[in-house]
Amino acid sequence: MKIKSEQFKEVAREELKTRHTRAHLDVIGLFIQEMREASMATFPDPSAALELGRAIRAESVERLPELLEAFEKKATANGAVVHWARDAREANQLVLNIARERNIRLVTKGKSMVTEETGLNEVLVENGLEVFETDLGEFIIQLLERPPFHIQGPALNIPVQEICDLFLEKGVMKEPTLEPVELGHAARIFLRDKFHHVEMGITGVNFAVAETGTIINVENEGNIRLTKSSPPIQVSVMTLEKVVPTMKDAMHMLRLLCRNCTGQKIASYTSMDSGPNRGAEADGPRELHIVILDNGRSTFYRDPEAREILRCVRCGACMLECPVYGKIGGYPYGWAYSGPMGQVLNPLMIGQERTQDLYRACTFCGVCKTVCPAGIDHPKMFLRYRAHDVEGDSRYNATRRPWPEAGFMEMFTWATKRRWRWDLGIKAVRPFINRQVEEGFIRGLKGPLEGWFKSRDFPAMPRKTFRDRMRGRKE
Amino acid sequence: MNNPSLFIPCTVDLFLPEIGEACLQVLRKLDLVPVYHPEQTCCGQPAIHAGYVKKAKASAKHFIEVFGGDEAVVCPSGSCVCTVKDRYPELLQDEPDWRSRAKELAPRVYEFSQYLVDVLQVEDVGGAYAGKVAYHESCRVLRGLGVSEQPKKLIRAVKGGELVPMQGAEVCCGFGGEFSTNYPEISEALVSEKAENYIASGADVLVACDPGCLLNIGGYLHRHHPDKPALHIASFLAEAIRDEKR
């Protein structure tokens, strides 16, 4: 997947003008948020449930190396083959090799963020395999060749007419229809045929249980279950932070994940794999391969500032609630992970230089941190990334700030140290700020503050500060 | 209860001094004589948020020196209070003496409505207002400090004032300091929605506990709906007190 995070501002401007984006985001705002809150309220003690989830994720990440080893041991004993991939290229190559060695031509996929991250589809297709995304939304954006709009609703914003045209063009159906149910049915018929002939199924993983060596997937369409149970070969790709200590922990995290994701107490389908078909079983793959991807995460693990990010369970609560995401949608973030989750993750994954807007396009409203069931403090991470830029920290591929800003901050902080300096500063900037005042308000200023005045006025700076007024009072 | 010390944020000091005066008026109505340290400046939030954390240490230290001896520090801005409470200890983590001074000061710094209701245990400051009031839940007041009921209690206690619900009251107004100038279109989308919700609520006035939000929402209203006022809680209460006397 091509990374376009550096085009954040332009794409955001476009999206703000796109009627369909706005309409669908408003729907998310109205319904899914309410469903999320209502389903969280079904816990006997919602805040205790949230805290337990945070504790589980904190423990999982603290014990990561040990838990991964335990998971590998158990999964292997169950008959699965565990592969380790250092980066995206290695993971893709591993999957490709599994397919090649078995002469596989047809692959179905369950919705998976990690394979978006590695760009697996492109690699398989380039190498002559037929690959079908089977989640309806994911299927649509695969045909459209677009990034996901939302982590759970990748094609949420695509108008029905566009889907109809697309399905006709790509041969998914023969007769045009604008009925959403009929469109869904057409995709189902089309994909059902693929499931009949599929040779290898690829999925992501929601949780991996160290205690039992089990991988767990949740979904609402049943396509992941078909992808796992129809073909003889199953490949499940997970990033290394997906592991949790016990099955009990996994069950609690599922409760939180489904509520935060789609406002459900439990997803329509929850499937667990503890090894391949053992011979006497009715279905299930002959071979189960689990690919564990690092792709930079072990580096974050070693970095005490960044380790916390590994707690993320990709529920999407942060983006559902984020006011900025709620206006611009997923495209401006320019990669697999959007919203606050992507804003904390992407700068580490692809370097700060290309992702500056991600940690700057934030008002510090703190709603992401408040709802996060994994206990991530997103705003604190954004402050750290900003500090890395100021310091020009090369470990994060940070870029130094422009000198006018650095100079201003130098003077500003110098002035805060003594009141006489502060007053001196005020005297110096007042005529500059107040150069165009109409009836007590500034209606426009050129320069770095220009953006403000596109839609807003600003009160003129009064002749006397509050302190001046207090002094007047005493005298 | 000793007299509180007043911490006036730079936005109020420079642009909205009437909010500071309103704080004084309300506190005096409660027979308090607030202390004002004239050497105070700014908490350093703009520098911290922009990532200049090393430089902002100087601002934090100055603040701690000025206010460190006070029993209670009252501030008409939730976000500045959060800066002192949450950011200072982090900022000063490699200087243990300063860090412990910051941590020791933190619990004594209060947002204005929080101080009235939680510390003074005053919910009714008197005053009268004939009209409907909408309340905007400023992010750092609501989520930063957990303050939400306090200002609403104060508003409800004003004679004749009717607190009306507002759609999306707890959603960010789109200010975010430098965010508002760096991403003006996104900021506008948020503040215009806030204004729409305020107007749709049927309220005659919008009240908030943070001058940042008020610069943003007020600035937008001044341009597009000049007849719709947005007031700081202190200004709203001070006006209500004045109106009752009339």
Residue with tokens 């816990």: A43
pLDDT tens by residue, chain A, 475 residues: 678 899 999 999 999 998 777 777 887 777 888 899 999 999 999 999 999 999 999 999 999 999 999 999 999 999 999 999 999 999 999 999 999 999 999 999 998 999 999 999 999 999 999 999 999 999 999 999 888 887 778 898 898 999 999 999 999 999 999 999 999 999 999 999 999 999 999 999 999 999 999 999 999 999 999 999 999 999 999 999 999 999 999 999 999 999 999 899 999 999 999 999 988 888 889 999 999 999 999 999 999 889 999 999 999 999 989 999 999 999 999 988 899 999 999 999 999 999 999 999 999 999 999 999 999 999 999 999 999 999 999 989 999 999 999 999 999 999 999 999 999 999 999 999 999 899 999 999 988 899 999 999 999 999 999 999 998 765 4
Range of the domain at A435: 417-474
Q: Is residue A272 part of a domain?
A: yes
Asked if B167 and B197 touch (Cβ cutoff 8 Å), the reply is: yes
- pTM to 2 decimal places: 0.94
Contacts of B173 (CB under 8 A, 6+ apart): B136, B138, B190, B191, B194, B213, B216, B217
Asked whether residue B111 falls in the same domain as residue B129, the answer is no
Asked whether residue B85 falls in the same domain as residue B130, the answer is no
In chain A, which residue's Cα lies nearest the Cα of B139? A365
For A419, the closest of B39, B46, B79 (CB atoms) is B39
A361 at interface of B, judged by CB pairs closer than 8 A: yes
Q: Of chain A residues 396-455, which have a CB less than 8 A from chain B? A: 401, 405-406, 409-410, 412-419, 422, 426, 441, 443, 448-452, 454-455
For A323, the closest of B172, B185, B218 (CB atoms) is B172
Asked whether residue A287 falls in the same domain as residue A369, the answer is yes
Asked whether residue A248 falls in the same domain as residue A360, the answer is yes
Please give the Cα distance from A232 to A200 (Å, whole number): 6
Token pair for A367:
């709603």
Q: Do A470 and B38 touch (CB under 8 A)?
A: yes
Reported as a pLDDT band with limits 50, 70 and 90, residue B1 is low
Asked whether residue B50 falls in the same domain as residue B136, the answer is no
Optimal mutation site among A424, A429, A467, A468, interface B, most CBs of chain B within 10 A: A467
pLDDT at A474: 53
**Own/partner pairs, B120-124, CB within 8 angstroms, 24+ separation:** B120/B1, B120/B30, B122/B30, B123/B153, B123/B154, B123/B157, B124/B154, B124/B157
Asked whether residue A235 falls in the same domain as residue A350, the answer is yes
Token pair for B104:
């020791």
Q: Which of B118, B148, B173 is the last residue of a domain?
A: B118
Range of the domain at B219: 123-245
Please give the Cα distance from B235 to B246 (Å, whole number): 17
For A454, the closest of B52, B184, B216 (CB atoms) is B184
Token pair for A418:
């003594």
Asked whether residue A251 falls in the same domain as residue A309, the answer is yes
Asked whether residue A337 falls in the same domain as residue A391, the answer is yes
Please give the Cα distance from A78 to A75 (Å, whole number): 5
Q: Which of B86, B118, B150 is the last residue of a domain?
A: B118
Contacts of A405 in chain B (CB under 8 A): 50
Contacts of A415 in chain B (CB under 8 A): 41
Token pair for A305:
């500032």
Reported as a pLDDT band with limits 50, 70 and 90, residue B161 is very high
- What are the pLDDT digits (tens) for B70-108? 999 999 999 999 999 999 999 999 999 999 999 999 999
In chain B, which residue's Cα lies nearest the Cα of A461? B15
Please, what's the b/e burial string for B15-52 (b: 16 or more CB within 10 A of its CB; e: otherwise)?
Answer: bbbbbbbbbbbbbebeebebbbbeebbbbbbbbbbbbb
Among A141-150, B9-18, B24-33, B188-197, where is mean pLDDT lowest?
A141-150
In chain A, which residue's Cα lies nearest the Cα of B57? A413
Asked whether residue B114 falls in the same domain as residue B163, the answer is no
Asked whether residue B68 falls in the same domain as residue B133, the answer is no
Asked if A377 and A306 touch (Cβ cutoff 8 Å), the reply is: no
Token pair for A284:
């299930």
Asked whether residue B131 falls in the same domain as residue B236, the answer is yes
B35 at interface of A, judged by CB pairs closer than 8 A: no
Pairing of strands B230-232, A441-442: unpaired
For A457, the closest of B58, B187, B222 (CB atoms) is B222
Q: How many domains does chain B have?
A: 2
Q: Do A412 and B46 touch (CB under 8 A)?
A: yes
Q: Is residue A359 part of a domain?
A: yes
Nearest CA of chain B to the CA of A385: how many Å?
Answer: 8
B182 at interface of A, judged by CB pairs closer than 8 A: yes
Q: Which of B51, B61, B55, B52 is nearest to B89 (CA)?
A: B61
Asked whether residue A279 falls in the same domain as residue A358, the answer is yes
In sign, the C-alpha dihedral spanning A351, A352, A354, A358 is positive
Asked whether residue A257 falls in the same domain as residue A394, the answer is yes
Token pair for B161:
């004032």
Half-sphere exposure (Cβ direction) of A45: Cα atoms closer than 13 Å: 5
Q: Which of A368, A401, A434 is the last residue of a domain?
A: A401
Asked whether residue A265 falls in the same domain as residue A341, the answer is yes
Q: How many domains does chain A have?
A: 2
Q: Is residue A107 part of a domain?
A: no
| Strand ranges for A126-209 from DSSP E | 130-133, 200-203, 207-209
pLDDT at A475: 43
Asked whether residue A357 falls in the same domain as residue A430, the answer is no
Please, what's the b/e burial string for A220-242 (b: 16 or more CB within 10 A of its CB; e: otherwise)?
Answer: bbebbbbbbbbbbbbbbbbbbbb
Please give the Cα distance from B9 to B114 (Å, whole number): 16
Half-sphere exposure (Cβ direction) of A466: Cα atoms closer than 13 Å: 27
- DSSP symbols for A21-83: HHHHHHHIIIIIHHHHHHHHTTSSSHHHHHHHHHHHHHHHHHTHHHHHHHHHHHHHHTT-EEE
The CATH number of residue B160's host domain is 3.40.50
Q: Is residue A48 part of a domain?
A: yes
Q: Which of B126, B178, B105 is nearest to A452 (CA)?
A: B178
Averaged pLDDT, B9-31: 97
SS3 A273: strand
Contacts of A30 (CB under 8 A, 6+ apart): none
Q: Is residue A7 part of a domain?
A: yes
pLDDT at A173: 96
Q: Do A416 and B42 touch (CB under 8 A)?
A: yes
B234 at interface of A, judged by CB pairs closer than 8 A: no
For chain B, what is the mean pLDDT? 97
Asked whether residue A390 falls in the same domain as residue A438, the answer is no
Q: Which of B83, B98, B118 is the last residue of a domain?
A: B118
Asked whether residue A68 falls in the same domain as residue A38, the answer is yes
Asked whether residue A344 falls in the same domain as residue A450, the answer is no
Asked whether residue B129 falls in the same domain as residue B71, the answer is no
User: What is the value of ipTM here, to two decimals?
Assistant: 0.96
Contacts of B8 (CB under 8 A, 6+ apart): A466, A467, B20, B36, B40, B75, B76
Asked whether residue B109 falls in the same domain as residue B136, the answer is no
SS3 A292: strand
At A186, phi and psi to the nearest 5? -60, -45
